Amino acid sequence: MTALPRAHDPASATLLDRYAAVRRQTLALAAPLSPEDCVVQSMPDASPAKWHLAHTTWFFETFVLAPHVAGYTPFREPYRVLFNSYYVAVGDRHPRPERGLLTRPTLREVQAYRQYVDGAMQALLETGRGTALRDTVELGLQHEQQHQELVVTDVKHLLSRNPLAPVYRARWPLLAVASRATGWIAHPGGIVDIGHGSGGFAFDNEGPRHRALLAPHAIATHPVTNGEYRAFIADGGYRRPDLWCSLGWDTVVAHGWEAPLYWRRRDGDWRTFTLYGEVDVDDDTPVAHVSWFEADAYARWAGARLPTEFEWEALAAGQRVDGNFADGGALHPLPAPAAAPGAPAQLFGDVWEWTASAYAPYPGFRTAPGAIGEYNGKFMCNQYVLRGGSCATPRGHVRATYRNFFPPEARWQFSGIRLASDA
Amino acid sequence: MTALPRAHDPASATLLDRYAAVRRQTLALAAPLSPEDCVVQSMPDASPAKWHLAHTTWFFETFVLAPHVAGYTPFREPYRVLFNSYYVAVGDRHPRPERGLLTRPTLREVQAYRQYVDGAMQALLETGRGTALRDTVELGLQHEQQHQELVVTDVKHLLSRNPLAPVYRARWPLLAVASRATGWIAHPGGIVDIGHGSGGFAFDNEGPRHRALLAPHAIATHPVTNGEYRAFIADGGYRRPDLWCSLGWDTVVAHGWEAPLYWRRRDGDWRTFTLYGEVDVDDDTPVAHVSWFEADAYARWAGARLPTEFEWEALAAGQRVDGNFADGGALHPLPAPAAAPGAPAQLFGDVWEWTASAYAPYPGFRTAPGAIGEYNGKFMCNQYVLRGGSCATPRGHVRATYRNFFPPEARWQFSGIRLASDA
Amino acid sequence: MTALPRAHDPASATLLDRYAAVRRQTLALAAPLSPEDCVVQSMPDASPAKWHLAHTTWFFETFVLAPHVAGYTPFREPYRVLFNSYYVAVGDRHPRPERGLLTRPTLREVQAYRQYVDGAMQALLETGRGTALRDTVELGLQHEQQHQELVVTDVKHLLSRNPLAPVYRARWPLLAVASRATGWIAHPGGIVDIGHGSGGFAFDNEGPRHRALLAPHAIATHPVTNGEYRAFIADGGYRRPDLWCSLGWDTVVAHGWEAPLYWRRRDGDWRTFTLYGEVDVDDDTPVAHVSWFEADAYARWAGARLPTEFEWEALAAGQRVDGNFADGGALHPLPAPAAAPGAPAQLFGDVWEWTASAYAPYPGFRTAPGAIGEYNGKFMCNQYVLRGGSCATPRGHVRATYRNFFPPEARWQFSGIRLASDA
Amino acid sequence: MTALPRAHDPASATLLDRYAAVRRQTLALAAPLSPEDCVVQSMPDASPAKWHLAHTTWFFETFVLAPHVAGYTPFREPYRVLFNSYYVAVGDRHPRPERGLLTRPTLREVQAYRQYVDGAMQALLETGRGTALRDTVELGLQHEQQHQELVVTDVKHLLSRNPLAPVYRARWPLLAVASRATGWIAHPGGIVDIGHGSGGFAFDNEGPRHRALLAPHAIATHPVTNGEYRAFIADGGYRRPDLWCSLGWDTVVAHGWEAPLYWRRRDGDWRTFTLYGEVDVDDDTPVAHVSWFEADAYARWAGARLPTEFEWEALAAGQRVDGNFADGGALHPLPAPAAAPGAPAQLFGDVWEWTASAYAPYPGFRTAPGAIGEYNGKFMCNQYVLRGGSCATPRGHVRATYRNFFPPEARWQFSGIRLASDA
């Protein structure tokens, strides 16, 4: 794409490699999908896969190429509006619930858009420009990884709405047998350091690093399993208002919830829709696709509570960030592997873990100026923090300080439960 | 496709030819569409093109092949539910507003479904089976022609929702210049015969043939044009509640209507979205995409009224069924050709003409037994009759007795206005 | 109330007496109600009794006193907007669904408003002014009688929403025993005269008188009873989509209808809420509070159909306008009295009878100029005609040509069913 | 009410006196209302005054008399369901949005209900029963005081919906002139004690008392005034999405907000609806009737933030609980009185102050068993904490640890803003 001599700055080379790898991975996730699968929007919360492919590209075009490459020509001018998500400062946006109406550009044209931008990005990165640019590129890659997870969860939701129960992947990954005994890990309480410090990428909402005071408490070694959750259902969990917060109970009644999203009663037993089609509910696997309402109600039923995000982070701070991530290819939570006694299992990967903490700014939090500043701060209302990543999260994307957030009724992410209790 | 000796019954041969021609035409209408264009549903009233392709095929499989071919194997068992539209007697149906969620089967698979059924139909028709079967095949073809019109109007709506204003056809058909002077054709009133008599196909709702008493009246020689309608708008037509029926005015206010569907104000003038993209509004062309509410209000503003469907049919009874139909390829209303003085112009084709008549059964109307009987009768409530066919109607599909019907707020068909007045 | 010399024009005297009688009757209907009962609006379709008391008074102030009495001072200026119903030409209106928010003026103040206007009307009528004025006064009285019926039906709906099942009247009126055998009255068909001719008051929608052509048919001697309707329910009437028009079935499913409005299943049997509280469903009483959808479905189930409004009027033309009206005090349909063989029973009073006719203008219909012209014409869309009056209609208010109209889903009027069939 | 010898237990006497005083005060607040004013529900969030009168009485009957008085006969059996608010454990409830349909029992009957229960309560309290009972009575009185505030705010909302702008009180209370200069009160940060300790009544959500870690910060001496808020509006505050959280901006757009609730633009200036009718907006008065969204956006515009509830409580801990409460009779915020330099003004009374804190349980929080336990805990989701009481709060009802809570969009309470900033 260019005959210019390559830059020899090793960091540039690394960033370029990383750029290529992340971008390639997005395409790989969309590979099993037909053009039809890529265009439809199954609910306002979700977006078409084609839109994700385009929007992540738009991010690089808007925040990297347009401001940093003199004379850059946008691939198509109208894409500026069409593929803006919510960056008000960038200008108009196509309405979110109408993303599924965009049959044009076609998937093929969006793929050409990606190639065009990738070419320009490669040329730019090879020049080895300064740190500010590199920070924005890194943000764009982290952003793309977030959308990779959404490609998986949005496609799962779409396919689940089809009576034919189509399959995204063919070979069922559950081979392991769990050998686990859930225990508790106690914490004496006291002041801990919370939030991202120096070193490595982090989103703005992970800082500033600050001190928090914990009460004595304990956290479960394992996430709650389908088998444990099945007992909650069998005990009338979805029919007992005393277990639910008021808003949660209203939601249960309004939507007729009686199990996690994707669970279906068949001949008196539970089946569940997965990216591999409909399968039996496996009792040893962490429960997924529950809302905060359900996590909170389950915890109350179990005589426990959800951990605060600070308690969770204090536990995670000393742990290695490893687990069942998207790169492993399962794209489904797996039964617990053997773990050292008293050590947390499945803290990272498998399922995002709802915390008791409403999503709020850390003391001293300031949003960045301009459109980039709209990244996280504006969502700090009526959402709850989830921690730890899931089986749909790209490896390397999460860390102990990472704060994901969703409204308490959201269920289409791989969201699960880890219990805590007062000491 | 078969080695059996051909039937030599000429009528069979004709029906088979006709079958092939109608089916081919449906594919031709979908040819300019991408797989993405074919899967999306742009509003609950509309259906994806892929669904039309499949549902018309389902009709032949359900009502012809399954009952008449011993040992017929359906192409795919779940299609029975998936592509049923509203035939309750046939069994479950996939919910209409969720037709756009069916990314699978893909367009390619639906095309294979068509081929499979076409093969079986050809084999069946070559055997030259009896009259009852032939009547059902004819109904299936008429049914498919109705869906051909919907393919055109539903795709137009879908493309209109895309800010890129995509083009279904490239070459703009408006070359003719109108040379017209609207006049009135008087009728003295009296008893007339209404409805389909003997000879040729007709839908059940066109009979029984019966007598109706007309008051003396007159009907306009031409449909209302864009230029005339523009004057209505300029005179505050959309801001004067006295011109509208109560429900119509509520609709104007609720949706902020200020012009026909697809009209867009650009720099103080009107443009309109067409299957050829966005173009200037042409004053000599019949106005299209107006609701019954708008037709009724326009007529009141013009000091006239809409014709009853009986008045319309009395006028049409003596006329040749000719005009700007889908086969002509314009897929857009055209300016009026020269017409004999005092003769009606554009009575057939161009635009469906709203009548003052609520859609109701004719005296003695009975629905056929079984699922086929659900064809027309069950919609006889809160709809109005339209007459004459449009530029999206297949030639040969309409006749003087043909009754189309839509709710008074519907605008996405090529629906227009012809005035009447009391003598 | 005035020392002016009385007019001696006997017609004036009669109109004044009639004015006083009608106005008194409205107050009598509201007498059993508490101030609380009079202010609440139980659904958007209904209005508070206080609003009816005020709006009928507003009609006289707006259309009689203000234009005809020099120097007339309105009782309270803001009432002009507050108590306008839908007369757009008069100016702004308080939104219909917010009528129940008007706790002020209090019931007492509205009663004072009535007295003030009644005083001014009395003074005006005593002067014996010209015919045009008298026509408007008569329209105002007919208008008030229509609202008297609404006071009854709206209060019934309000009280039905109270779990305490409050009683509007104490003594249950059903003493008669029915002695009936339903038969059919045949009509040979042919041209009949329809609509109001000369002589006496009629609403604009009852004219112009014109000719209509009837097909041979027969009409039932009696309205359908609760007992007959109970059989329809028992036969699965509310669970068989083939009996319903498409829109009707959607309504049944959306609202979970399984019986007429006010019917309640108690211990396996049907009870119904009345103005006398909750009582057993009486099998000999005409069924009431059914929608057009239910009337149409019942008729289909019974192998019959609804009469057109022209067929109904042809039957009624020769009959005496007598029956169970509001003045009789029952305020509930009653079992059929003995009737001459082959003569229609309960044609007037008891229940309004749904017809098959969509509400539309008669040939040559013109609305009156100005606000008064908004009376009836603007509602001629998506409504059906009912004929004959009910037990809540004031005696003397209806006649053979009277056209009431409601949307096909409306059930809170005393609306019932009389069958017809093709000859 | 009774001739029995009075109990001589001084504590009993005190509680009895207090009971009588609180109950009397509720009636006094309803005294200016007509029966019509007392029955209507102006929005689902609000309740009719009559319902408040009955529900507070229901609390004593259900939680005190029924379990503690042998052979107690309820006043009316159906009231058990009718006047239950949300206590699921008590049994069925009448649906909240339908409280306004209950025209019966009338206001008069509800007053009789109050007298009946008051008589039984007096007899019970004179017997001087044990502590558990006394705790429940105290809870009932605190509960009734909360509803006193709602009577005021719900009636204000109801009257505001009436175009006649009716007056609840006649004499306008704003006589004082503010003499203020807003300053900041700094706090060095560190661990503070939060929540109710021993002594005196407190709600369950105020405990357990625990330690919290504060960052260094400062809090404004005064709440934000109308004049300051007017500058925010003039600066385009309601048109700049960058100032709002995402959900807040959606709300602004959806409802067309452009000022606090009750503000109305008249001839280019702002007026506001009060319990004294419509008046000019007074610049020296604390702004009221703003949502959390508006408080948060205003703070961002002002370069500040909202205080956390812990920061607020740390400031309030040392202050005397005094201010403009309901007993003062203003029922409207007042301009700031002179205050000592560096001391907080209007911390209690005038307006509830939104905090940055989502409403959540304190560490170790447990709900009480049974229906009483439903009091506060079940609302701990998607709500924000407000502190300090308002001009509609009964004196003596609030304290430094008191936690009020409302969803972020709620505006019909007297809710205002106090700024904070990072040190």
Confidence at residue D11, expressed as pLDDT on a 0 to 100 scale? 58
Residue B86 has pLDDT above 80, yes or no: no
- Tell me the pairing of strands C190-194 and C210-214: antiparallel
Q: How far is B158 from chain A (nearest CA, A)?
A: 7
Reported as a pLDDT band with limits 50, 70 and 90, residue C4 is: very low
Where do runs of H (alpha helix) occur along C31-130? 35-39, 49-60, 66-68, 79-82, 107-126
Q: Is A163 on the interface with B (CB under 8 A)?
A: yes
Mutate to test the interface with A, among B98, B101, B110, B273 (most CBs of A within 10 A): B101
Q: How far is C78 from chain D (nearest CA, A)?
A: 7
Reported as a pLDDT band with limits 50, 70 and 90, residue D198 is: confident
Query: How many residues does the structure list for chain C?
Result: 423
Which CATH superfamily hosts domain D184-422? paralog of FGE (formylglycine-generating enzyme) (3.90.1580.10)
- Tell me the pairing of strands D348-349 and D323-324: parallel
- How far apart, in whole angstroms, are the C-alpha atoms of residue C294 and residue C307? 14
Count the Cβ atoms, other than its own, within 10 Å of residue C209.
15
Confidence at residue C2, expressed as pLDDT on a 0 to 100 scale? 28
Mean of pLDDT values over B125-129? 82
Confidence at residue D132, expressed as pLDDT on a 0 to 100 scale? 81
And the tokens for B191?
């008893």
- How far apart, in whole angstroms, are the C-alpha atoms of residue A273 and residue C28? 65
Phi, psi of C408 (to 5 degrees): -65, -15
- How far apart, in whole angstroms, are the C-alpha atoms of residue B316 and residue B396? 15
Residue C283 has pLDDT above 90, yes or no: yes
Q: How far is C293 from chain B (nearest CA, A)?
A: 9
E strand residue ranges, B303-381: 323-324, 348-349, 352-358
Q: Which is more confident, C400 or B336?
A: C400
Q: How far is B244 from chain C (nearest CA, A)?
A: 7
Confidence at residue A367, expressed as pLDDT on a 0 to 100 scale? 81
And the tokens for A76?
């198509």
End-to-end CA distance of chain B: 61
What contacts B211, CB < 8 A, 6 or more positions away?
A: B191, B192, B193, B194, C213
Residue A329 has pLDDT above 70, yes or no: yes
CA-nearest of B279, B277, B391, B261 to B333 is B391
Q: How far is CA D174 from CA A360, D263, D276, D280, D394, in A?
A: 38, 17, 11, 11, 19
Reported as a pLDDT band with limits 50, 70 and 90, residue A215 is: very high
And the tokens for B53?
């392709």
Cα B213 to chain centroid distance, Å, stands at 28
Residue D2 has pLDDT above 70, yes or no: no
Confidence at residue A130, expressed as pLDDT on a 0 to 100 scale? 74
Q: Is C382 on the interface with B (CB under 8 A)?
A: yes
Question: What single string gives the DSSP state of each residue in C356-371?
Answer: EEEP-PPTT--PPSSG
Q: How far is CA D423 from CA A193, A364, B43, D181, D347, in A?
A: 19, 9, 54, 20, 20
Reported as a pLDDT band with limits 50, 70 and 90, residue C11 is: low
Reported as a pLDDT band with limits 50, 70 and 90, residue D13 is: low
- How far apart, in whole angstroms, are the C-alpha atoms of residue D337 and residue D178? 6
Confidence at residue C321, expressed as pLDDT on a 0 to 100 scale? 96
| Contact status, residue A48 vs residue A159, Cβ threshold 8 Å | no
> Tens digit of pLDDT for each residue in B203-239?
999 999 999 999 999 999 999 999 999 999 999 999 9
Mean of pLDDT values over A130-143? 90
CA-nearest of D210, D196, D199, D192 to D364 is D210
Mean of pLDDT values over A366-374? 74
Minimum-distance CB partner of A161 among B35, B101, B106: B101
What contacts D83, CB < 8 A, 6 or more positions away?
A: D51, D54, D55, D57, D58, D94
Phi, psi of D76 (to 5 degrees): -145, 125
Residue C6 has pLDDT above 70, yes or no: no
CA-nearest of B106, B96, B105 to B41 is B96
The per-residue pLDDT of chain A, averaged, comes to: 92
Q: Which of residues 27-86 of C touch D (CB under 8 A)?
A: 34-40, 42, 50, 78, 81-82
Q: Is A89 on the interface with D (CB under 8 A)?
A: yes
Minimum-distance CB partner of C245 among B88, B191, B378: B378
Confidence at residue A2, expressed as pLDDT on a 0 to 100 scale? 28
Mean of pLDDT values over C12-16? 79
Residue C81 has pLDDT above 50, yes or no: yes
- How far apart, in whole angstroms, are the C-alpha atoms of residue B349 and residue C379? 31
Give the Cα-Cα-Cα angle B231, B234, B240 (nearest 5 degrees).
110
Q: How far is CA D8 from CA C279, D11, D13, D128, D133, in A?
A: 54, 9, 7, 8, 17
- How far apart, in whole angstroms, are the C-alpha atoms of residue A330 and residue D132? 57
Residue D3 has pLDDT above 60, yes or no: no
Q: Across the interface, do A215 and D210 touch by the CB < 8 Å criterion?
A: yes
Q: Which is more confident, A322 or C2?
A: A322
Q: Which is more confident, C92 or D223?
A: D223
> Tens digit of pLDDT for each residue in A186-205?
999 999 999 998 788 999 99
- Tell me the pairing of strands D384-387 and D404-406: antiparallel
Residue D120 has pLDDT above 80, yes or no: yes
| Contact status, residue D119 vs residue D131, Cβ threshold 8 Å | no
**ipTM of predicted assembly, 2 dp:** 0.93
Q: How far is D141 from chain A (nearest CA, A)?
A: 24
Do chains A and C touch by CB distance (3+ pairs < 8 Å)?
no
Q: Across the interface, do C103 and D162 touch by the CB < 8 Å criterion?
A: yes
Cα A32 to chain centroid distance, Å, stands at 20
Q: Which residues of C153-164 are buried (b: 16+ CB within 10 A; e: fewer)?
A: bbbbbbbbbbee
> Tens digit of pLDDT for each residue in C224-242?
999 999 999 999 999 999 9
Any bridge partners for residue B225, and if so which?
A: B286
- How far apart, in whole angstroms, are the C-alpha atoms of residue D412 and residue D423? 33
> Tens digit of pLDDT for each residue in B20-46?
999 999 999 999 999 999 999 999 999
Residue D64 has pLDDT above 50, yes or no: yes
Query: How many residues does the structure list for chain A?
Result: 423
And the tokens for C300?
């289909």
Q: Across the interface, do B35 and A35 touch by the CB < 8 Å criterion?
A: yes
CA-nearest of D228, D187, D193, D233 to D209 is D193
Residue A175 has pLDDT above 50, yes or no: yes
Strand ordering across the sheet containing C263-266? C263-266, C269-274, C277-280
Confidence at residue D387, expressed as pLDDT on a 0 to 100 scale? 98
And the tokens for A253?
């009644």
Minimum-distance CB partner of C36 among D39, D158, D159: D39
> Tens digit of pLDDT for each residue in B138-195?
999 999 999 999 999 999 999 999 999 999 998 887 766 666 778 999 999 999 999 9
Mean of pLDDT values over A219-226? 97
What contacts D73, CB < 8 A, 6 or more positions away?
A: none
Mean of pLDDT values over A128-146? 90
Confidence at residue C128, expressed as pLDDT on a 0 to 100 scale? 72
> Tens digit of pLDDT for each residue in A236-274?
999 999 999 999 999 999 999 999 999 999 999 999 999
Minimum-distance CB partner of D103 among C36, C81, C104: C36
Enumerate the residues of chain C whose CB falls inside 8 A of the CB of residue B363. Answer: 215, 217, 422
Count the Cβ atoms, other than its own, within 10 Å of residue C410.
20
The per-residue pLDDT of chain D, averaged, comes to: 92
| Contact status, residue A80 vs residue A88, Cβ threshold 8 Å | no
Enumerate the residues of chain A whose CB falls inside 8 A of the CB of residue D245. Answer: 377-381
E strand residue ranges, C181-324: 184-187, 190-194, 210-214, 217-220, 263-266, 269-274, 277-280, 323-324
- Of A229-233, B87-91, B317-321, the poorest mean pLDDT is in B87-91
CA-nearest of B312, B314, B315, B333 to B323 is B333
Enumerate the residues of chain B whose CB falls inside 8 A of the CB of residue C381. Answer: 245-248, 292-293, 296, 408
